[in-house]
Amino acid sequence: MANEMRFIEVERKCLSYEELDAKMRGLEFPQLSSLLNSRTTKVGDTAASLLIERGICNELVDAMLNGCFTSKKGKIRALNVLNSFGCSCPRSHEGYKLFVLDRDADVVVSALFGLVFLQDLGNLTYIRQAMAKAEAGSTKIEFYNLAIQALKEGNPFIYSPHFHDRRDVWGIDKNRFGHRVGSFNRREG
């Protein structure tokens, strides 16, 4: 399997997305999760897509907690996979809380997205603690404040105003935010 993964990394430029998907489809979770760290967009994103398709959630959180994602791209891909499950992953907050302390602002922004859209006011304390550890004047402070405001006001779209929960994975209040939940192709009547 290690040789197979090395081939995927080295020969990726010769493979189409379809060929890469077919080759990677036989990989198990440990191999796919390690490929999230790939510098190559085609490889890393294909691994993420396969993990989403398989509905792998708790194992992903375990991999996060065990430090398996070492690159910025790997962490963001792991968070994107976790975000695709929305509220259905009961342990997702563990992964978000870990990465909300990351040194990279882009990783923190992705982790905060999950904490905000979980809509759990208990996350306020944790976000404030993470903010207290951030370097004064950093862009992370701005995002921590925005996340706090979104949670306090019960409006996750304050944090991410252009997000549309197309598959309704976050369990957002449809009475308040119905135009931001579900299919874009609603029939008007």
What is the C-alpha to C-alpha distance for residues 84 and 121, in angstroms, rounded to an integer? Answer: 21
Which one, of 78, 151, 149, 80, lies nearest residue 118 by Cα? 151
* pLDDT digits 0-9 by tens, 149-179: 999 999 999 999 999 998 999 999 888 888 8
Instruction: List the domain range (segments joined by +) for residue 161.
Output: 89-189
Does residue 60 fall inside a structural domain? no
pLDDT of residue 2: 52
Q: Is residue 106 part of a domain?
A: yes
Please give the mean pLDDT across all residues of the chain. 90
Count: domains in the chain: 1
155 located within any domain = yes
Q: Torsion-angle region of residue 138: left (phi > 0), alpha (psi -120 to 50) or beta?
A: beta
**What percent of the chain shows pLDDT beyond 90?**
75
Answer yes or no: is pLDDT of 188 > 70. Answer: no
Q: Measure the N-to-C terminal CA separation of the chain; round to a whole number of Å.
A: 54
Residue 175 lies inside a defined structural domain of this protein: yes
pTM of the model: 0.88
What pLDDT, in 10s, does the model give residues 3-29?
Answer: 455 555 555 667 888 888 998 999 999
